[in-house]
């Protein structure tokens, strides 16, 4: 029951932004990429699957946008991005979900959300390689993966574990983005070693923090400009 | 009204079962509606009938039965039923859409923990499908 | 079964370094704090409960140190810190654990590790407020919590969810540390609003990356120097 | 030799049960040893005897039974037994210490997935305690 397929049948492409590592910019990259694609007239959805630290609504400034009820749940649109998240349902409250609860929550969101016709659905993944990752692999086998890493050894080692998992499960890996780049080309080198396409680097940009919650401002940061060059490659 | 989406899930699953077992018709579908999600039965029934038109489930009898919501604390093992009328309406509404929001709004009445398992009565469940 | 108590009976104090948010520096703070305390002649243990991105062994440069078997498992000691982690058992492989697997893994580590006499056991928590957090609250109710946040709105919002959870479960919150501080006193203000003790700020220090895996170098960074002032307060 | 720590867990639990039920003596303890963890029975037995000396479990009979390790794939639902002699010795050793390492080294023989549940035969389990 609770099949994802029906609600995703009008979605041409599902792209999961994952890492394994936390705090590498998965949320910032996925939300900004969604904004950039929407600017380029793509019909874009953004599904936030971080049930413990949902962030997409904060980045897009959509704190109080509720999905509307109409033969399902219709995601609110913000700057052209259709956004679905656990946030409207849990507010600012605690999120004491065990793994099986996360599985249920994800299947529920997939079952009720009417995405409609989309060129691209971006999925903002939580850190780790636990239930949410395993469930996406299981329930959305066609999902493609966009992997984010910082240049840190601590990030790269964890990203490697995710890549191994995705490979073993036959998931399609589009490539990897280096975020908060810092001079040395660590992630590029890592990609070469792992046989993964390196999609490009985005620098640490101190202006990003002020732009959280303000999409127009975010789109004008150096961060967004650099990400645009990468997003363009994805068509 | 998101009952339509829930009904859609049910119909899709029923049709898949029928197809897998090469059945021409679906005779009867027994569905459990968990009290936690508080699905509106009338809308849900209408949706089931609408959505199964022109499918092998067109003439199926959809029987709905409510299942009490039983939660069990992972910390102190206490088990309790969710009393529908004790929920705040706003919270009940949010749990209606996403039963896992229960972990944000409900607490173990014995030890106060948000860490509990939803033992039964979570959402919509197909209990059995009779094929013809 | 598989009680934590026996193996922890010689441990005077268990301090969990948590956040809810990933990438805020939980691992770097806990590993460095462990080194600092060990330098001050404390008997310190470090338990890495991040089963998806274990990092403590990388920071301490203990890649290939295996625990030894002797009426249980005796953690290897590195720079005076007794370290236990999932890393020796999974190597660099993928970690496809669902929530209930994480619970089992944690109980297993707690049951077999012979910590011996310790003044302090630091626990490096994973991000999220899922199984590992709920299990520590359940199985080690005496654990105290040291919360780490960056100044970012995205971190603070998630840390708030963790604090709510810890409060509701009656866990003892020692206070919060601001990591990668950036001018404004966001975390201090947040602490005031939440009624949590603010323990101090640690700046972003670009020298940290080179010091990963090299404890002597790490201890000589500005990061460690600033953290020392905070750790001292904890006695 | 980490069998001692496992035995310690068992003895602790047994003593707690005895205390909770105000029993003066433990007569019999039936223990299951999951094949996945491959506990060394002799060392484990010795440890149980040693650790229960001068406790209410001193004269208890500890009976050990092996339980086959059954894994079930979360992806394709295939169920299979772990064949002890097919594991690489190094991997078996790591799984011996931490059964969850199975998710790093073992795969569903049908679909190759590392996402499986350990249905039975994971670790050490107390099946029953008879008190006197
Ligand atoms: N390129 C960047 N420049 C500056 N800050 C960034 C950049 N990318 C991410 N951040 C900040 O880093 C933190 C982690 O980013 P986030 O998107 O929340 O990561 P994740 O979703 O992987 O946990 C946030 O505070 C975010 O604002
Ligand atoms: N004060 C700091 N200065 C510079 N880099 C830091 C600092 N704190 C953490 N880092 C880096 O930030 C990243 C995240 O830190 P980490 O300890 O892995 O966070 P967490 O354990 O919370 O996920 C790592 O690459 C780490 O080296
Ligand atoms: Mg995120
Ligand atoms: Mg639960
Ligand atoms: Mg960490
Ligand atoms: Mg499993
Ligand atoms: Ni509804
Ligand atoms: Ni052993
Ligand atoms: Zn309780
Ligand atoms: Zn399989």
Q: What is the pLDDT of residue A235?
A: 67
User: Could you tell me the distance, in angstroms and rounded to a whole number, from the CA of residue A47 to the centre of ligand 3?
Assistant: 11
Mean pLDDT of A24-35: 98
The yes-or-no reply on B/D contact (3 CB pairs or more, < 8 Å) is: no
CB pairs under 8 A between A and B: 92
Query: Same domain, yes or no, for D62 and D79?
Result: no
Q: How far is A72 from chain C (nearest CA, A)?
A: 28
Residues in Cβ contact with D32 at an 8 Å cutoff, skipping those fewer than 6 apart:
D64, D65, D66, D67, D124, D125, D126, D127
Per mean pLDDT, which range of A37-46, B66-75, C70-79, C176-185 is the poorest?
C176-185
**Angle, CA of C137, C141 and C142, to the nearest 5°:** 135
> Which residues 83-112 on chain B approach chain C with CB closer than 8 angstroms?
107, 112
On chain A, the residues whose CB falls within 8 A of the CB of D114 are 165, 168-169
Q: What is the pLDDT of residues D61-95, one digit of tens each?
A: 999 999 999 999 999 999 999 987 889 999 999 99
* Distance from C-alpha of D10 to C-alpha of D28, rounded to nearest angstrom: 13
Query: Same domain, yes or no, for B48 and B92?
Result: no
Share of chain B above pLDDT 70, in %: 99
Q: Which domain holds residue A77?
A: 2-231
Query: Same domain, yes or no, for D116 and D127?
Result: no
User: Could you tell me the distance, in angstroms and rounded to a whole number, from the CA of residue A26 to the centre of ligand 3?
Assistant: 5
Q: What is the pLDDT of residues C84-109, one digit of tens each?
A: 999 999 999 999 999 999 999 999 99
Mean pLDDT of A80-109: 97
* Nearest beta carbon to residue D4 from set C71, C96, C113: C71
- The CATH code of the domain that includes C138 is 3.40.50.300
Q: What is the pLDDT of residue C1?
A: 43
CB pairs under 8 A between C and D: 93
Distances (CA, A) of C103 to B48, B74, C134, C137, C207: 40, 12, 9, 12, 36
Q: Is the pLDDT of residue D28 over 70?
A: yes
Query: Same domain, yes or no, for B50 and B84?
Result: no
Q: What is the pLDDT of residues C216-232, one digit of tens each?
A: 999 999 999 999 999 99
Per mean pLDDT, which range of A22-26, B15-19, B84-88, B96-100 is the poorest?
B84-88
Q: Are D115 and A169 a contacting pair at CB < 8 A?
A: yes
Residues in Cβ contact with C153 at an 8 Å cutoff, skipping those fewer than 6 apart:
A58, A209, A212, A213, C186
Ligand index nearest the alpha carbon of residue D6: 8
Q: Which of B109, B112, B106 is nearest to B87 (CA)?
A: B106
Q: What is the mean pLDDT of chain A?
A: 95
On chain D, the residues whose CB falls within 8 A of the CB of C85 are none
* Nearest beta carbon to residue C1 from set D13, D99, D105: D13
| Mutation to probe ligand 2, out of A23, A159, A186, A204 (largest number of atoms < 8 A from CB) | A23
Interface probe with C: pick from D5, D7, D108, most Cβ of C within 10 Å = D5
**Residue C55 near ligand 2, beta carbon < 6 Å:** yes
Q: How far is D114 from chain A (nearest CA, A)?
A: 8
**Does the reported pTM lie above 0.95?**
yes
Query: Same domain, yes or no, for D87 and D53?
Result: no
Query: Same domain, yes or no, for D42 and D107?
Result: no
Query: Same domain, yes or no, for D62 and D98?
Result: no
**Residue C27 near ligand 2, beta carbon < 6 Å:** yes
- The count of domains in chain D is 2
User: Could you tell me the distance, in angstroms and rounded to a whole number, from the CA of residue B112 to the centre of ligand 9?
Assistant: 6
Per mean pLDDT, which range of A143-152, B48-57, B110-119, D79-88 is the poorest?
D79-88
- The CATH code of the domain that includes D34 is 3.30.2320.50
- The count of domains in chain C is 1
Residue whose CA is at the smallest distance from ligand 2 atom 11: C25
Residues in Cβ contact with C191 at an 8 Å cutoff, skipping those fewer than 6 apart:
C175, C176, C197, C198
Q: Which domain holds residue B127?
A: 2-67+122-131
Q: Is the pLDDT of residue A2 over 60?
A: no
Mean pLDDT of C60-73: 93
Query: Same domain, yes or no, for D82 and D42?
Result: no
- Beta bridge partners of residue B67, listed in sequence order: B34
DSSP states along A104-135: HHHHHHHHHB---SBSEEEEEPPSSSSHHHHH
Q: How many helices (H) and strands (E) does chain B have?
A: 4, 6
Q: Is the pLDDT of residue A234 over 80?
A: no
> Is B124 an 8 Å CB contact of chain A?
yes
Query: Same domain, yes or no, for B22 and B53?
Result: yes
Q: How far is A70 from chain C (nearest CA, A)?
A: 30
Mean pLDDT of C124-143: 97
**Residue C179 near ligand 2, beta carbon < 6 Å:** yes
CB-side neighbour CA atoms (13 Å) of C75: 32
Interface probe with C: pick from B73, B115, B117, most Cβ of C within 10 Å = B115
**Residue A152 near ligand 2, beta carbon < 6 Å:** yes
Asked if residue D63 lies in contact with residue D125, where contact means CB atoms within 8 angstroms, the answer is: no
**Residue C205 near ligand 2, beta carbon < 6 Å:** yes
Query: Same domain, yes or no, for B40 and B74?
Result: no
**Structural Rg of chain A based on CA atoms:** 17
- Beta bridge partners of residue D32, listed in sequence order: D65, D125
Mean pLDDT of A43-70: 96
* Nearest beta carbon to residue D100 from set C1, C105, C113: C105
Distances (CA, A) of D129 to C107, C214, D38, D48: 22, 50, 22, 14
Query: Same domain, yes or no, for D35 and D86?
Result: no
Q: Can you tell me the ipTM of this complex? A: 0.96
Per mean pLDDT, which range of A203-207, C1-5, C130-134, D106-110 is the poorest?
C1-5
Q: What is the pLDDT of residue A1?
A: 44
Q: Which of A184, A123, A158, A192 is nearest to A19 (CA)?
A: A158
- Per DSSP bridges, beta strands D26-34 and D124-131 are antiparallel
* Nearest beta carbon to residue C165 from set B74, B75, B114: B114
Query: Same domain, yes or no, for B63 and B126?
Result: yes
Q: Is the pLDDT of residue A182 over 80?
A: yes
Chains in contact with B, where contact means 3 or more Cβ–Cβ distances below 8 Å, are A, C
Residue A192's CB is within 10 A of a number of other CB atoms, namely 12
């Amino acid at each position: 029951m609770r099949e994802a397929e029906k609600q995703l049948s009008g979605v041409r492409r599902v792209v999961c932004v994952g890492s394994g590592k936390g705090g590498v910019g998965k949320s910032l990259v996925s939300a900004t990429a969604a904004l950039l694609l929407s600017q380029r007239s793509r019909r874009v959805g953004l599904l936030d699957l971080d049930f413990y630290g949902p962030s997409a609504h904060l980045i897009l400034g959509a704190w109080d946008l509720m999905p509307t009820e109409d033969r399902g749940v219709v995601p609110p649109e913000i700057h052209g991005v259709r956004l679905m998240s656990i946030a409207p349902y849990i507010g600012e409250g605690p999120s004491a979900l065990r793994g099986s609860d996360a599985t249920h929550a994800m299947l529920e969101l997939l079952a009720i959300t009417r995405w409609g016709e989309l060129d691209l659905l971006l999925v903002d993944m939580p850190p780790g390689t636990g239930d949410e990752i395993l469930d996406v692999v299981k329930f959305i086998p066609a999902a493609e993966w966009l992997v984010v890493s910082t240049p840190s050894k601590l990030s790269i080692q964890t990203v490697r574990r995710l890549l191994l998992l995705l490979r073993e499960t036959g998931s399609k890996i589009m490539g990897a983005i280096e975020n908060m780049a810092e001079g040395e080309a660590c992630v590029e080198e890592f990609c070469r070693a792992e046989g993964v396409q390196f999609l490009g680097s985005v620098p640490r940009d101190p202006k990003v923090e002020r732009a959280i919650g303000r999409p127009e401002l975010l789109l004008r940061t150096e961060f967004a400009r650099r990400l645009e060059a990468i997003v363009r490659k994805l068509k | 009204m998101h009952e339509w989406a829930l009904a859609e899930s049910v119909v899709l699953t029923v049709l898949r079962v029928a197809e897998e077992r090469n059945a021409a018709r679906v005779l009867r579908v027994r569905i459990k509606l968990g009290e936690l999600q508080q699905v509106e039965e009338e809308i849900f029934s209408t949706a089931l009938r609408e959505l199964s038109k022109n499918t092998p489930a067109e003439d199926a009898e959809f029987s709905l039965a409510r299942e009490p919501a039983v939660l069990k604390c992972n910390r102190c093992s206490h088990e309790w039923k969710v009393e529908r009328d004790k929920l705040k309406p706003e919270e009940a509404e949010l749990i209606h859409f996403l039963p896992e929001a229960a972990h944000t709004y409900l607490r173990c009445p014995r030890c106060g923990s948000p860490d509990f398992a939803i033992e039964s009565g979570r959402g919509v469940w197909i209990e059995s499908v009779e094929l013809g």
